[in-house]
Amino acid sequence: MPAPPTETLATRRARTGPPLASGASALLVLGFVLMSLNTRVAFGQIGPLAPVAGFSPAALSVLGLLPPLCMGAFAPLAAVLRRRLGEERGLWWASLVLVAGAVLRMLGMPGLFAGTVVVSAATAVVNVLIPVLVRKRFPRERVGTMMGVYALSMGVGSALVAAVVVPTAQATGSWQPAIGLAVIPAILAAAGMTPQLRHRPPQPAAGTGTKRTGHPHVARTALAWSLTAFFGIQTLAFYTTLAWLPSILVQAGLGRSAAGTGQALLICGVAVGGFAAPVLAAKRADQRPHILVTVLVCVIGFAGLLLAPAGTSMVWVVILGMGLGAGQALPGVLYAHRGRDHDHVAALSTMAQTCGFLLAATGPVLAAALHTATGTWTAPLTALTAVLLVCSAASLRAGHDPK
């Protein structure tokens, strides 16, 4: 009987990531962080600006609906760019589109709507390619840390820009310069990713022509649908909470200033949970406990907002933020751990984010409809809690590889 084949260098690198020289590693991490900072910057500007800019309720509804809707619709574009350009060049071009979209958003209300679509399309590409880049370029033991850095950077970028948009609008007397602040981190991201242009996409092996060896039938697997269920419901809960938390807190008896503080605390909780969850989950082969804890923390946060006295609302907001942040960051680890190779990781990421973001786009609209029908936020919060609990069972396959 022939001896089992030994592990080749290429196989080892596909499994653990390539070794990096210190200088190349520093440039990669810098570009990765600058790219990650931009992923939610544009979407965190509208809420704080709304009272100052005088946006109509209809405009606010559309601006809240466009990001998840467009990120779901444009996520498949990432697979095309990855095949043609590779992850590094795909992210660089996405950063240029982010700059263009950020500039476009400054050109009045039509520009704001059109620019939001452009920024969302670029962000969809980034969302899909980041987990593949992490799996490809970093050692396996650093996957959780880098996905944590990704989630933390998203929160930090959104919080920093959200903190300065209102003072900028008040100082200039217009919302356009405040919106234009997003151009700065977008330019920095493009500059940070430029050193990675030296990485070219791998050429097809000799004799294979242009045939691809991806995973076109990933939608036929239970794993892909389980990942989609977890990401989709978590993202629906995230965008619904982000859209309506200030209104929920005001109806609970808090003032508008306190409600704004609650939104800031939610973002802080998201950053903490987004960093901690992937770091902890990547250390284990089985992430089912992390999925269940993530769902449980979200449920506790929603239950606290529903049942606890208004004076403790901020505590439950922070807890909810940590759960929602974990739910946004944990899927990146799941793609990297469940994917058999880089193509499989990309296919899982694309499907989960395409379906998940389209599902998430319905959350704020359905919550508003329930609130209008009942006159309170009890029904929407109860519905979110129930959906999270029901969906937790469907999500467990995403956390484990059955032997």
DSSP string, 142-178: GHHHHHHHHHHHHHHHHHHHHHHHHHHHHHHTSHHHH
Q: Considering the domain boundaries, does residue 340 fall inside one? A: yes
Task: List pLDDT tens digits, range 187-234.
Answer: 998 898 888 888 766 655 444 333 444 455 777 888 889 999 999 999
Q: Considering the domain boundaries, does residue 114 fall inside one? A: yes
Is 150 a residue whose pLDDT tops 70? Answer: yes
What mean pLDDT is reported for the chain? Answer: 82
Can you tell me which residue has the tokens 């596909």?
Answer: 14
Q: At 388, which CATH number?
A: 1.20.1250.20
Higher pLDDT, 143 or 183: 183
End position of a domain, from candidates 199, 232, 264:
199
| Band (111; pLDDT cuts 50, 70, 90) | very high
In the numeric block, which tokens belong to residue 177? 């310069």
Q: Looking at the structure, do residues 185 and 225 belong to the same domain, yes or no?
A: no
Higher pLDDT, 241 or 163: 241
Q: Looking at the structure, do residues 26 and 70 belong to the same domain, yes or no?
A: yes
Q: What counts of helices (H) and strands (E) characterise the chain?
A: 15, 0
| Least trusted range by pLDDT, from 66-75, 99-108, 158-167 | 158-167
Write the single-letter amino acid at 235. Answer: T
Q: Looking at the structure, do residues 401 and 315 belong to the same domain, yes or no?
A: yes
pLDDT of the residue at 233: 93
Domain that holds residue 180: 22-199
Alpha-carbon span 77 to 94, nearest angstrom: 11
Mean pLDDT, rounded, for 166-182:
87
Mean pLDDT, rounded, for 332-336:
85
Q: Looking at the structure, do residues 237 and 351 belong to the same domain, yes or no?
A: yes
Q: Considering the domain boundaries, does residue 76 fall inside one? A: yes
Q: Looking at the structure, do residues 108 and 143 belong to the same domain, yes or no?
A: yes
In the chain, the number of structural domains is 2
pLDDT of the residue at 385: 93
Q: Considering the domain boundaries, does residue 1 fall inside one? A: no
Is 159 a residue whose pLDDT tops 80? Answer: no
Mean pLDDT, rounded, for 286-314:
90
Q: Considering the domain boundaries, does residue 72 fall inside one? A: yes
| Band (403; pLDDT cuts 50, 70, 90) | low
Q: Looking at the structure, do residues 190 and 231 belong to the same domain, yes or no?
A: no
Residues in CB range of 116: below 8 A, 6 or more apart: 42, 63, 66, 67, 70, 101, 105
Q: Looking at the structure, do residues 75 and 161 belong to the same domain, yes or no?
A: yes
Is 338 a residue whose pLDDT tops 70? Answer: yes
pTM of the entire predicted model: 0.80
Task: List pLDDT tens digits, range 68-102.
Answer: 888 888 988 888 888 888 888 889 999 999 999 99
Q: Which of 148, 143, 134, 144 is nearest to 272 (CA)?
A: 148
Is 12 a residue whose pLDDT tops 50? Answer: no
Alpha-carbon span 216 to 218, nearest angstrom: 6
| H or E element at residue 59 | helix 57-104
The burial of 208, by beta-carbon neighbours within 10 Å (0-12 exposed, 13-18 middle, 19 or more buried), is given as exposed
Q: Looking at the structure, do residues 189 and 239 belong to the same domain, yes or no?
A: no
Q: Looking at the structure, do residues 249 and 141 belong to the same domain, yes or no?
A: no
Q: Which of 268, 293, 362, 287 is nearest to 331 (CA)?
A: 287
Q: Looking at the structure, do residues 44 and 173 belong to the same domain, yes or no?
A: yes
pLDDT of the residue at 50: 73
Is 3 a residue whose pLDDT tops 60? Answer: no
Q: Considering the domain boundaries, does residue 80 fall inside one? A: yes
Residues above pLDDT 90, as percent of the chain: 22
Q: Considering the domain boundaries, does residue 368 fall inside one? A: yes
Q: Considering the domain boundaries, does residue 164 fall inside one? A: yes
| Band (16; pLDDT cuts 50, 70, 90) | very low
Mean pLDDT, rounded, for 263-270:
83
Max mean pLDDT among 45-59, 72-86, 103-117, 325-339 falls in: 103-117
In the numeric block, which tokens belong to residue 215? 């995973």
Q: What are phi and psi of 41, to 5 degrees?
A: -55, -55
Alpha-carbon distance values, 245 to 130, 185, 225 (Å): 29, 27, 29
Is 15 a residue whose pLDDT tops 80? Answer: no
pLDDT of the residue at 290: 92
Q: Looking at the structure, do residues 154 and 79 belong to the same domain, yes or no?
A: yes
Q: Looking at the structure, do residues 224 and 177 belong to the same domain, yes or no?
A: no
